[in-house]
Amino acid sequence: MDFDFSSLEAFANQFAGNWRYFPGFVWTRNDITDPEQWGIVYTKNNQSTPLEIVNAEHLKHLLWVYLHHKSKKRKQKHVYHIRDRHFTAGWTEGFLLRVYDTTGNVTNACATLYDHLAALRDYPVADDEALDKLEAEIFSDEWPEILESIVSHFDGEHHSIIDGDYRYYVNLKSLDDISGIEKLLLKHNPREYWSSDTGYFNMSHFLYDITDGRITFDEIFFACPDTVCLNFSAALLSQT
* CB atoms closer than 10 angstroms to residue 192: 10
What is the arrangement of strands in the sheet containing 38-45, beginning at the earlier edge strand? Answer: 38-45, 90-98, 79-86
Residue 113's pLDDT is what?
A: 97
Residue 73's pLDDT is what?
A: 67
42 - beta bridge partners?
94
Residue 94 to residue 237: CA distance in whole angstroms: 56
First CA to last CA distance, the chain: 57
Domain ranges of the chain: 8-126, 144-239
Scanning the chain, the segments in alpha helix (DSSP H) are 8-15, 50-62, 64-68, 108-122, 128-153, 179-187, 203-211, 217-221
Residue 232's pLDDT is what?
A: 39
DSSP 106: B
Residue 238's pLDDT is what?
A: 31
| 208, 214, 215, 216: CA torsion to nearest 10 | 70
Residue 19's pLDDT is what?
A: 85
Scanning 74-127, the segments in alpha helix (DSSP H) are 108-122
Q: 50-62 and 108-122 are packed helices; what angle lies between their axes, rounded to 10 degrees?
A: 150
Mean pLDDT by 10 residues, the chain (240 residues): 89 92 67 87 88 95 89 78 76 92 94 96 93 87 76 53 57 54 71 77 72 57 45 35
* Residue 153 CB contacts under 8 Å (≥ 6 apart), including other chains: 159, 201, 203
C-alpha distances in Å from residue 96, one per residue of 6, 63, 172, 181: 22, 11, 54, 50
Residue 218's pLDDT is what?
A: 56
**Are 128 and 195 spatial neighbours (Cβ–Cβ below 8 Å)?**
no
